[in-house]
Structure 1
Amino acid sequence: MSGAELFEGLFADVRVMGIFRGASPRETVRLCHAAWDAGVTAVEVPVQTEEAFASLAAAVAAGRERGRTVGAGTVRFPEQLRRAVDTGARFTVAPGLDLGIVRLSGEIGVPHLPGVATSTDIDTALKAGLTWLKAFPASVLGAEWVRAQLAPFPEARFVATGGMGASNARDFLGAGCRAVAIGSAFGDPEQLARLVDEGLLPAVGSRT
């Protein structure tokens, strides 16, 4: 399955990805279940530390039981990429665009979502065959940045990441993002309820 096919499927119905950084394996799994219970189909666990790989492994195991997709984030080096895939990550995410990581991802056969913050980043990624891109840091770039970049790059599929929550996710989706990555809301019942109220997550009765 290509990266475009995977991400299109993951965000076809619920346009929210959970992202859980720096939590223990137990807490990571708890947050993953909160996201899955809310209807989210994909979560990302950043792997910047040795402990983070343990959290990724726990999330992968929990996701396997529920038929959910788990990816690894903050993948910047080849050894991280290989280890994340060996741990069971179905996709990888990076804060920036590294064509070496893009090539290695293609060789391994794992979808990669690189971070972009400039027109040059976007153009380079698209020419490398990637259409799904991580707009990062989204809250700094702003929703108008997304709208402006989609004018010359209409084929780009942005996932807004960084500073996303119940207060601004709708703005980024309205500007043209295909999905938003949210973390803290899944540990906060008030934010979670607001995401439901905003129509970003399904109502309780419709969750699977």
Structure 2
Amino acid sequence: MKANTNPFAPTPAYPPLVAILRGLQPEEAAEVGLALYAAGLRLIEVPLNRPGALQALSLMRQALPADAHLGAGTVLRPEQADALSEAGGTLAISPHLDPDLVRHSVGLGLWTMPGVATVSEAFAALRAGAHALKAFPNDALPPEALRAWRTVLPEALIYPVGGMGLHNLAAYRRAGATGAGLGSAIYRAGDSASVVGERARELVQAWQAAER
């Protein structure tokens, strides 16, 4: 592995929130990444379903400190995991469960988070070696359902993704979410770094307040 500690596991050092930067352009990658880092985030995903994603990720990797964990979302095929590794990424996040893709990514030394929508998929993902679970879309796993999942998956790292924001972070944390993936709530294509940083700070505060 490229690190000794699973970056998806929460620590006191940073909140377990994943910034999903869909549409991030290479020329803005460093500035936006540094704004997120300053706000306290250490998990950053650039989805591959937009042009320039890997270049943006590579430039961000050069600009951010080593304890920032960067990766790609919408990883659908083994060759995309290969390209992600070559670009310096360490996180492979997918919207679906493909056990072969999970095993391939793990073999590259990538930390994996496949998408799951049922308990059966969750167990299959963990058997394949997944390091965390992306509950996607979160409509399929409302807070009351997550509580039920926790009765059989007490130690799994579960991150709801899709429609997450200030309005529901607290409910999911109290239901047992390990963290959350944040897309438009934190970044929309063309947003300035200062706007992204301010949103990130608000989301971090909301997550931390839910602990009380």
Same fold (TM over 0.5): yes
Contact 1:3–1:110 (Cα < 8 Å) also in 2:
no
Aligned to 1:12: 11
Aligned to 1:24: 25
Aligned to 2:203: 195
For 1:116-131, what aligned pairs fall within 5 Å after superposition? 116-131=116-131
Q: C-alpha displacement at 1:27, in angstroms?
A: 3.0
Q: Provide, for residues 7-31 of structure 1, a one-character-per-residue CA deviation record: whole Å limited to 9, x for no partner.
A: 255x312121211111212333332
- Tell me, what secondary structure is at the counterpart of 1:39? coil
Contact 2:112–2:131 (Cα < 8 Å) also in 1:
no
Q: Which residue identity lines up with residue 40 of structure 2 in the other structure?
A: G
For 1:1-80, what aligned pairs fall within 5 Å after superposition? 1=1, 5-8=5-8, 11-13=10-12, 14-63=15-64, 65=65, 67-80=67-80
Q: Please report the TM-score for the alignment, with normalisation by the length of structure 1.
A: 0.84
In the alignment, the residues of structure 2 paired with residue 45 and residue 177 of structure 1 have an alpha-carbon distance, to the nearest angstrom, of: 22
Q: C-alpha displacement at 1:101, in angstroms?
A: 0.6
Contact 1:15–1:178 (Cα < 8 Å) also in 2:
yes
Aligned pairs, number: 199
Contact 1:7–1:132 (Cα < 8 Å) also in 2:
no
Contact 1:42–1:70 (Cα < 8 Å) also in 2:
yes
Residue 96 in structure 1 maps to residue 111 in structure 2: no
Q: Taking structure 1 as reference, are residues 200 and 181 closer, same or farther at Cα in structure 2, changes over 3 Å only?
A: farther
> Tell me, which stretches of 5 or more residues in structure 1 are unaligned?
202-208
Q: C-alpha displacement at 1:191, in angstroms?
A: 4.0
Contact 1:166–1:191 (Cα < 8 Å) also in 2:
no
Identity of aligned residues (%): 32
Q: Which residue identity lines up with residue 203 of structure 2 in the other structure?
A: L
Q: Provide, for residues 121-148 of structure 1, a one-character-per-residue CA deviation record: whole Å limited to 9, x for no partner.
A: 1121122233511111124532222111
Q: Provide, for residues 55-94 of structure 1, a one-character-per-residue CA deviation record: whole Å limited to 9, x for no partner.
A: 222222222x464221111101111110011000012100
- Tell me, what secondary structure is at the counterpart of 1:181? strand
- Tell me, what secondary structure is at the counterpart of 1:151? helix
- Tell me, what secondary structure is at the counterpart of 1:105? helix
Contact 1:32–1:59 (Cα < 8 Å) also in 2:
yes
Residue 149 in structure 1 maps to residue 149 in structure 2: yes
Q: Taking structure 1 as reference, are residues 176 and 85 closer, same or farther at Cα in structure 2, changes over 3 Å only?
A: same
**Pairwise CA RMSD:** 2.5
> Tell me, which stretches of 5 or more residues in structure 2 are unaligned?
188-194
Q: Taking structure 1 as reference, are residues 150 and 181 closer, same or farther at Cα in structure 2, changes over 3 Å only?
A: same
Q: C-alpha displacement at 1:181, in angstroms?
A: 1.6
- Tell me, what secondary structure is at the counterpart of 1:198? helix
Q: C-alpha displacement at 1:199, in angstroms?
A: 4.9
Contact 2:23–2:51 (Cα < 8 Å) also in 1:
no
In the alignment, the residues of structure 1 paired with residue 148 and residue 157 of structure 2 have an alpha-carbon distance, to the nearest angstrom, of: 13
- Tell me, what secondary structure is at the counterpart of 2:52? helix
Q: Taking structure 1 as reference, are residues 139 and 83 closer, same or farther at Cα in structure 2, changes over 3 Å only?
A: same
Q: Provide, for residues 148-192 of structure 1, a one-character-per-residue CA deviation record: whole Å limited to 9, x for no partner.
A: 111122232101211111221121111111111223336357644
